[in-house]
Structure 1
Amino acid sequence: MKRHFPHLCSPITIGRVTFRNRMFSAPMGGTDITNDGCIGPKSTAFYELRGKGGAGAVTVSECMVHPETDGSHAYHLDTSILNSLAAATYTADAIHRHGAVPSLELSHSGMYAGTYMTDKSKQHNMHQWGPSDTVRPDGVPVKALTTDMLSDIVASYGRVAGLAKRAGFGMIMIHGGHGWLLNQFLSPYFNKRTDEYGGSLENRCRLAIEVLKSVREAVGPGFPIEFRMSGSELFEGGYDLAEGVRIAQMIEPYVDIIHVSAGTYQRGFGDTHPSMFKEHGCNVYLAAEIKKHVSVPVATLGGLNDPQQMEEIIASGKADIVYMARALLADPFLPRKIMENRENEIVHCLRCFTCMAERAVTATRRCTVNPLIGREIEGNEVSPAPVSKKVLVAGGGPGGLYAAYTAARRGHQVILCEKEAQLGGILKSEQAIPFKQEMYQLSQTYALFARNSGVEIRTSTEVTPEYVEKENPDALIIAVGSEPLVPPIKGLNGDNVVIVNDYYLEKEKVTDQVVVLGGGLAGCECAIHLGMEGKHVHLVEMRQELAPDANIRHRPLLLKEVDKYVTVHTGCKGLAVTDEGVLCETDTGEEILIPGTSVICALGQHSRTSLVNSLRDSAPYIAVIGDASKVSTITNAVYEGYHAALDI
């Protein structure tokens, strides 16, 4: 068999372990962590799915090695904890039985212990330990670790590594990046010590090297040890890439893989986890430079999900291994699809941060494009229905397409009707915004799945009560979506106005002086795009804050982009649209004109309630999903469509 991406698919032997390909699953924290730090069954299923999906290695994250100085609610591996070793063993076995190498990330949060706790008051009441006495930006005091404490922490890394090997893990990753404890010691910004652990680079690397020696003694020769580091901290006062190279050279004798990430979690979330506003692979240059100066294999990551790009990274020698995290939430079977030359079936990550926002808010996982995430314990196979039925799906947006695909996989006869000539629903509007191309592509991928599973797709076909009566289905899934909210503002129907949903059709109408009316998520993203194109953009919002509908991880990065490209006017109510701009009333009652020769209307959406109500009694089984039920997110539309089909 000739593989389309031979370098990406080639095995690699590290120590005494051979990995089946160069696509590894990056560390991702679990969700059902028990009160005493054991890996819960849902998390075991979460990691297993990545092994089943074809990754060369799957890293379980994060195992905190020293609870005495790091009270983070994370995994622990300790024989004094009932079920701890057993839970780790079941997890390692679940990954390994599918051909992947299970890896365990060992870590210590240092001065940021408790970051993942949903109860932030408890986090702020914890004792925080770090390299030096300091006060965190949020006002929490930090005490310097004593040398005796450091010795105990070093020993604990070795002890936990030995237990991980006993549990069946085939590799250990030591987390030395992203602002956690080892990175805090490496960093001149965090480390102000004057003893043998501070000052010179040699001293700042001392703790990491002692940890690596402790782990090697515990696991023995030939057992792969990986060190995860930030190639550069990417902020003033932290170390730069040149020093990152020197750090890599100093730890090289003690490791088998140098895993190069970027930034610090606390000071550069959008660097460590590249957002949709950044290029895919924007951090690869860090690994590429470090690889020039070391001889051990180097791994890279950062918004990677395109097989052609990843193949080029390996083929050109920028790195030996590519890691993916969010990409393997969107599609756990991405590596397997690449190995089987089915790359056209990959569901691409949107980099929307739904996954990370949900973990921060509720300590669970969700994925916009994959309804299985967080529910892997229920299985990833769709069971055939006991009786094949005729299913009609009204609406060809993401929810309708996924519902049709799922119903067809269950063996039903499925017809999907879309009233417009093109599938995709509201996602069609994303094709004109480069940083949202994956959202536009999503509907095309779902349409491919639906067609391949046998769905009959009828475009330019509106579903009415009469149409349903003629087709006489056993089940009707109503996924007719929403429509733009266009209030009766004078001039809003003028020739200089473009509804944000229609921007992809009418972008040529938009001049270089633009007013975006509406500062929700859609309005903000459109304004950013227009600003990136070099247009002068004013954003008008009646409320005092922008994008309250954006999730807590995406919103701060979104607002940074707004600051770069857009002039913002909050507390302004649109009164009328003229040829010169939008006349607004401020919250103090003053009338002002926001200048612009083009206006984008982005004032929200509302459900097609009258159409939904007309269809409610059309079939024995009715399900209303997505925006047709309540204007919400792609996440909910896909999830509801999936389960509506399972319920038939």
Structure 2
Amino acid sequence: MGSKYSHVFDSIRVRGVDFKNRLEMAPPSPNLADKDGKVTAEFVEFFRSMAKGGTAIIDVGNCVIDKSEASDEERQLDLGNDSCILPLTRFVEMCNEYGALASLEINHNGKDSQFEKTGKPAFAPSEIIASGEKMRAMAAGREPMKTVAMDIPKIKETVKKFGDAAERCKRAGFKICLIHGGHGNLISQFASKLYNHRTDEYGGSLENRARFCIEVLDEVRKRVGENFVIEFRISADEIHPDGMHFEETLQFIELIKDKIDILHVSAGLHGEFEYMRNWWQNYMMDRMYNVHFAADIKKKFPDLLVCTVGSILNIEMAEEIIASGKADFVAMCRPLLADPEMPRKYATGHEDDHRPCIRCQYCGLRLLIPGVINCSVNPYLGDEMRYPEGELPLAKVKKRVAVIGGGPAGIQAMLTLCDRGHDVTLYEEKGFLGGSLHYAGIPYFKQDIRDYLKYLKCQAAKAPARILLNTKATKELLELENYDAIILAVGAKPIIPNIKGVDKAHVHWAPLAEAGEVPVGEKIVIVGAGAVGIEAAIDFKEAGKDVVVVEMAPDLSAFMAASGAAVKEFMELIAKDEIAISYNTKLTEIADDFVKCTDTISGKEIEFKADTVLLALGVKSNIEIVDELRHCAPETEVFVVGDAYETGNVGPAVKSAFKAAVNI
């Protein structure tokens, strides 16, 4: 008997190629090729868990047709010569082992190729100075370089290189490839008036601007033959005001639709930071963000196979999309990085074991620095050589281990210890699990965090561990139990300023107020304009409260930097809700119905009426608890993890807990 997700797991044949279901791994760039751009064992093992997990198509992102002139990432695949073929077969054969189809996103970066990697200016349709080049030049202390406008011989040479790359894929055993015609890469640079300023047969009218793309697709088909699937990636709308918009994209699709087999519909631009959000959505953006584009394309071209991508977070969403006719395939990247086994879990009725992506952007940030993909919620990702297929070895000696703290680090430590066969007891002082996530998930726009917290609680309930809520782990208690090892995941505590009145009854830590654990009045002063303070200000202002935020800094630059890709959404909410923020303002005293502050520039005293004062000045590690408990087992067997070790986000906390647990 099949699963209830009959549309997702429905097979389809295209040009004689069998697709076992409608799920595609949207193309990540794991930076795991060797220095010459060839497939490595690390590379193959990175993708193995996705292939094993049940996804039909495994795409690899940004595989360049000639690394010597088109390169914008570290250790990306180079398809520029025949020496790539043999290593590529290892990737193909691994995918075949699980019934998955290997695919490469064949690309030329055009204007975004980096001088630091190629030693030459970037080629592009027209002579421009790219935004990324301006930033790199500034960082390097050099003058920015203009792109080299491709002449006709260079265009013909580049068209042939696309064909060469696709043919090498076929020779390596691939049955499908993905030609990258979106996100402001070279093909879309020719198509878009934003970058194409030519006046010859490759510029001007849409038909002329589409010429390069058509020549590439014709060359690829000629080289791969008829029994090979060509998928084509497109930005339905570049979003940029001067870029290519949806109505013109529909006309563009009309020109190429008979030359492709699957249209992969994304949006936005890669090289313009403000428009990256449309293909790399953050947790404050709508789920299934770009599906409406695919749905409209499918209506316009009902005979064209369409793939949609963008914040499609689970199989249930994918089922609705395909069942309703919005698309024929669903691609997802980050959700499969978070849980490569997701398709199998849904197909076998274990949906509650699905580890959800929280769209925190940690994977992309880790890809930038230090250069390898990791995941906040999946501690195995990036460590495949040590833990093949996401499996842990059983401990050689079963030990009695205590985990102190039931936040994300503590729960991850407990789960990992249980997987390794240890006898585990978790102590949590509060009456619930979740720790900082309990509070982080309170704002209405934090649904992704709430889903992750639900997953952690579900897994904790299933774990063969003793979980003691409302239980403070004291030195005496732990020594009485005589544990073999201890993991201290005791988290952090709020920073409380040493000022007069801070101990008054109407002064609280902001998250406690958001959680409804303490009373709040109608006139609130929030101290600190970091993430915690701003989120609280939005929550209470939208609840109809009178809110003022006081902040010592001269602006929100620190908050904006910490907000990462979500900064646009936050700034829009701050403006919409008319959040009052007093900058250069230091809290000096809290009275019964007002607060005293000092203007740090003029020295002038300022007062704000307040019946509630909420502190949001950051947190610091619970080092006192750590110091008290770190001798309650042999010292070499005591590990400090999560915020107790170093305050930060979910990713470092989960990873540190996992690493500690695998070494006990």
Q: Which amino acid in 2 is paired with 1:132?
A: S
Equivalent-residue separation in structure 2 for 1:549 and 1:631 (angstroms): 17
The answer to whether the 8 A contact 2:527-2:533 is kept is yes
C-alpha distance in 2 between matches for 1:246 and 1:534: 47
Contact 2:418 2:464 in 1 (8 A): yes
Q: 1:391 — aligned with what?
A: 401
Counterpart amino acid of residue 627 in structure 2: N
- The 1:212–1:593 alpha-carbon spacing in structure 2 relative to 1, beyond 3 Å, is farther
Using a 3 Å threshold, how does the CA distance of structure 1 residues 608 and 202 change in structure 2: closer, same or farther? same
**417, 429, 439: which is aligned to 1:429?**
439
- Partner amino acid for 2:64? M
Task: State the alpha-carbon separation in 2 of the partners of residues 39 and 515 from structure 1.
Answer: 56
Match of residue 118 from structure 1: none
CA offsets 1:209-262 (integer angstroms, 9 cap, x no match): 111111111111131110100111112111221112222222110011001001
Pairing partner for 1:572 from 585, 593, 604: 585
How many pairs align? 640
Please tell me the residue identity of whatever aligns with 1:273. W
Alignment of 1:559-598 (within 5 A): 562=574, 565=577, 566-578=579-591, 579-580=593-594, 583-593=597-607, 598=612
Match in the other structure for 2:262: 257
Q: Give ranges in structure 1 of 5+ residues lacking alignment.
A: 115-120
Structure 1 position 428, deviation (Å): 0.6
TM superposition score normalised by structure 2? 0.91
Alignment correspondent of 1:129: 123
Partner residue in 2 for 1:117 = none
Aligned to 1:179: 184
Distance change >3 Å, CA 617–CA 130, structure 1 → 2: same
Within 5 Å, give how 1:16-55 maps onto structure 2: 16-55=16-55
Contact 1:353–1:554, Cα closer than 8 Å, also in 2: no
Q: What is the distance in 2 between the residues matched to 1:278 and 1:512?
A: 30
Distance across 1 between alignment mates of 2:441 and 2:525:
21
Paired residues of 2:68 and 2:118 also in contact (CA < 8 A): no
1:598 deviates by 4.4
Per-residue CA deviations over 1:69-125 (Å, capped at 9, x if unaligned) read 4243432124454xx2232221222222122111110011111113xxxxxx82697
- For residues 598-618 of structure 1, give each alpha carbon's deviation from its aligned partner in whole angstroms, at most 9, with x where no partner exists: 443111111222221111111
Taking a change above 3 Å as real, the CA distance of residues 597 and 240 of structure 1, as seen in their structure-2 partners, is farther
Report the RMSD for the aligned CA atoms in angstroms: 2.4
Q: Secondary structure at the match of 2:559?
A: coil
In 2, the alpha carbon distance for the partners of 1:181 and 1:596 equals 57
Counterpart for residue 288 of structure 2? 281
Which deviations, in whole Å up to 9, do the C-alpha atoms of 1:38-78 show, x marking residues without a partner? Answer: 23332222122211121111101111113454243432124
Change in Cα spacing, 1:500 to 1:213, as seen in structure 2 (3 Å) is: same
The match for 1:631 is 647
Structure 1 pair 146/92, CA: closer, same or farther in 2 (3 Å)?
Answer: same
Q: How much does 1:156 deviate?
A: 0.5
- Stretch moving more, 29-38 or 635-644: 29-38
- How far, CA to CA, are the matches of 1:297 and 1:610 in structure 2? 60
Q: Secondary structure, in 3 states, of the residue corresponding to 1:132?
A: coil
Q: Structure 1 residues 21, 469: CA separation in 2 closer, same or farther (over 3 Å shift)?
A: same
- Listed one character per residue, the Cα deviations across residues 165-192 of structure 1 (whole Å, up to 9, x for unaligned) are 1112221101111111111111121111
**In 1, Cα distance between equivalents of 2:573 and 2:120:** 34
Distance in structure 1 (CA, Å) of the matches to 2:517 and 2:263: 46
Q: How does 1:509-588 map to 2 (within 5 A)?
A: 509-510=519-520, 514-530=524-540, 537-544=547-554, 545-547=557-559, 550=562, 553=565, 558=570, 562=574, 565=577, 566-578=579-591, 579-580=593-594, 583-588=597-602
Q: Could you tell me which of 635, 642, 645 is aligned with 2:658?
A: 642
Residue correspondence of structure 1 range 589-628 to structure 2 within 5 A = 589-593=603-607, 598-620=612-634, 621-628=637-644
Change (3 A) 1:597 1:412: same
What does residue 470 of structure 2 align with?
460
Preserved CA contact (<8 Å) 2:508 2:615? yes
Summarize the Cα distance change of 1:146–1:529 in structure 2 as closer, same or farther, 3 Å threshold. Answer: farther
In the alignment, the residues of structure 2 paired with residue 629 and residue 370 of structure 1 have an alpha-carbon distance, to the nearest angstrom, of 20
Give matches, 1:65-464, under 5 Å: 65-73=65-73, 74-79=76-81, 81=83, 84-114=84-114, 122=116, 126-137=120-131, 138=134, 139-265=144-270, 266=272, 267-294=274-301, 295-378=303-386, 379=388, 380-464=390-474
Q: 434-443 or 589-598, which moves further after superposition?
A: 589-598
Task: Tell me the SS of whatever aligns to 1:47.
Answer: helix
Distance 1:499 1:257, change over 3 A: same
- Whichever residue aligns with residue 163 of structure 2, its letter is G
Letter in 1 for 2:436: I
Asked if structure 2 preserves the Cα contact closer than 8 Å seen for 1:418 and 1:458, the reply is yes
Q: Is the 8 A contact 1:576 1:584 kept in 2?
A: no
- Deviation of the 1:365 alpha carbon: 1.6
Distance of aligned partners of 1:175 and 1:511 in 2 relative to their CA distance in 1, 3 Å threshold = farther
- Provide the C-alpha distance between the structure 1 equivalents of 2:544 and 2:305, rounded to a whole number of angstroms: 42
Distance 2:367 2:299 in 1: 37
Query: Offset at 1:547?
Result: 2.7
Aligned partners of 2:253, 2:457: CA distance in 1, in Å?
Answer: 46
Flag structure 2 segments of 5+ consecutive residues without an equivalent. Answer: 135-143
Once residues 200 and 654 of structure 2 are traced to their aligned partners in structure 1, the CA distance between those partners, rounded to angstroms, is: 56
For residue 556 of structure 1, report the CA deviation from its aligned partner.
6.6
TM-score relative to the length of structure 1:
0.93
* C-alpha spacing 1:616/1:256, structure 2 compared with 1 (3 Å): same
Structure 1 counterpart of 2:412, one-letter code: Y
> Secondary structure of 2:643's partner?
helix
Alpha-carbon spacing, 1:353–1:561, altered in 2? closer, same or farther (3 Å): farther
Offset of residue 506 of structure 1 = 2.3
Instruction: Name the SS for the 1:70 alignment partner.
Output: coil
Shift in alpha-carbon separation, 1:550–1:68, aligned structure 2, 3 A: same
C-alpha change, 1:572 and 1:441, in structure 2 (3 Å) is same
Provide the rounded CA distance (Å) in 2 between the counterparts of 1:129 and 1:388.
Answer: 60
C-alpha separation between the residues in 1 aligned to 2:461 and 2:15?
45
Q: Distance in 2 between matches of 1:387 and 1:480?
A: 26
CA contact 2:587–2:595 (8 Å) conserved in 1: no
Deviations along 1:323-368, one digit per CA (max 9) or x if unpaired, are 1111111111111211212111111111111111111121112211
Q: Distance in 2 between matches of 1:537 and 1:253?
A: 58
Identity of aligned residues (%): 34
**Distance across 1 between alignment mates of 2:241 and 2:100:** 39
What amino acid does structure 2 have at the position aligned with 1:176? Answer: G
Displacement of 1:473: 1.7
Deviation at 1:539, TM superposition (A): 3.7
8 A contact 1:283–1:302 mirrored in 2: yes
CA contact (8 A) 1:393 1:476 kept: yes
Return the alpha-carbon distance in structure 2 between the equivalents of residues 559 and 87 of structure 1: 47
Q: What letter matches 1:583 in structure 2?
A: C
Shift of 1:23: 1.8
Quickly say closer, same or farther: Cα 1:435–1:113, change in 2 above 3 A. Answer: same
Q: 2:258 is matched by which residue type in structure 1?
A: P
Structure 1 residue 271 displacement after superposition: 1.4
Matched, 1:56 2:56: yes
| Worse overlay, 450-459 or 246-255 | 450-459
Tell me how far 1:508 sits from its aligned partner.
8.7
Letter in 1 for 2:589: A
Partner Cα separation in structure 2 for residue 317 and residue 233 of structure 1: 24
